[in-house]
Amino acid sequence: MRLEKSKTRKVDILHIVLDSVFILSACSATVNDRFETLPFDEIANLVNEISLEVDALGSTIRFREHIYGFLIMDGSANKIYQFNDSGTLIREIGGPGRGPGEFTSITSITSDEEGRIFAYDGPMWRLSIFDDSGNYTRSFQMNDAFRMHDMVYADGLLFTFSAFTHDELPFHISVINPENGMIVNQFMETSDIVKELGIPISGALQHINLFEDKIIVTHPLELSTYFFDLKGSLLTIHEGSSSVYEKPDPNSYTIPAPLYTALPALIASSRPAQDSYFIEFMDLNPEDSRGNFLEIFDSDGNKLSVYPISIGTKELLHVNENGELLFIERTESNGYNLNTYALN
């Protein structure tokens, strides 16, 4: 979907806060086993629905805008689906295999202003590049110490996020020149809590975001959101104040099953939009039926949603430049819709 930047519409923080107060005064919050929640349909309206021409999608999905529409990465099928604005499938890119333009396990995608598509194969340590029509053009072999779980394109460079760090790669963010595959900068060193716990950040549920020439990453264990400029300088850190998440205590957070302890089995990722940014909480415990939650913070890190917003099985894929939230949802006929919601 090619989304033009809105010059008039803004995410009105005061409006969001007032809406939250109104909803709360109407006593619509429901009691969860640990906390109260608000239903998503009471704070957002469906404004656009696109039926996707695709038979099946796996569990590891990435969404990226493209000059001819939008891209959806299916990590289970090792494919990239290219759609036009109306959801018609234009082509499938990649597929299982080890040859040029194929993937053994695709972990991240992005595109540039020319429509080139970049995709990373984790086990192969290979960055592949396709033209705007999905034709394979070249690839770069990265060092076997390199990991990548998400990436964005900005200012002629690829900003990549790695959940895992080690002695050879102690930084979470690496900047790659896509013309030669060389790493030109690295920043966001492993945090003290990860070193102390001795466990990596979960990569499957963490993202790197680009907004107004800022790189934004939410640390899913600390629940802190980091803002960097494109040079890698740290601008600010917002400490999260969540209703559903507790920071792990190193004295009780045990190995080897850290996500299935008495602590809420929730991992955070962020999606920024204009004057506010959204934190999505993914519930990783399959025995826990609470589903997924959304909490909304302003650009100073203040929480705008008084109660966690229950989004059920939805997974927040993207927030567009109008501040609207995009989800992929199953239909009653077992198809897929790309649904866009606007906050009330």
Rounded CA separation 98/95 (Å)? 9
pLDDT score of 284 = 52
26-43 in b/e form (b: 16+ CB < 10 A) is eeebeebeeeebbebebb
Rounded CA separation 284/209 (Å)? 22
* pLDDT above 50: residue 203: no
* pLDDT band for position 295 (cuts 50, 70, 90): confident
> pTM score, two decimals?
0.82
Which domains, from first to last, does the chain contain?
13-343 (2.120.10.30)
pLDDT score of 247 = 64
pLDDT score of 25 = 30
Contacts of 32 (CB under 8 A, 6+ apart): 290, 308, 310
* pLDDT band for position 193 (cuts 50, 70, 90): low
Q: Among candidates 89, 80, 78, 15, which has minimal Cα distance to 51?
A: 89
Q: Among candidates 171, 175, 157, which has minimal Cα distance to 201?
A: 171
Task: Report percent pLDDT > 70 for the chain.
Answer: 72
pLDDT score of 285 = 52
* pLDDT band for position 272 (cuts 50, 70, 90): confident
301-341 residue pLDDT tens: 788 878 888 888 788 888 888 888 999 888 888 889 999 99
* pLDDT band for position 17 (cuts 50, 70, 90): very low
80-94 residue pLDDT tens: 999 999 999 999 999
Decide if 119 contacts 132 (C-beta within 8 A): no
The amino acid occupying position 88 is T
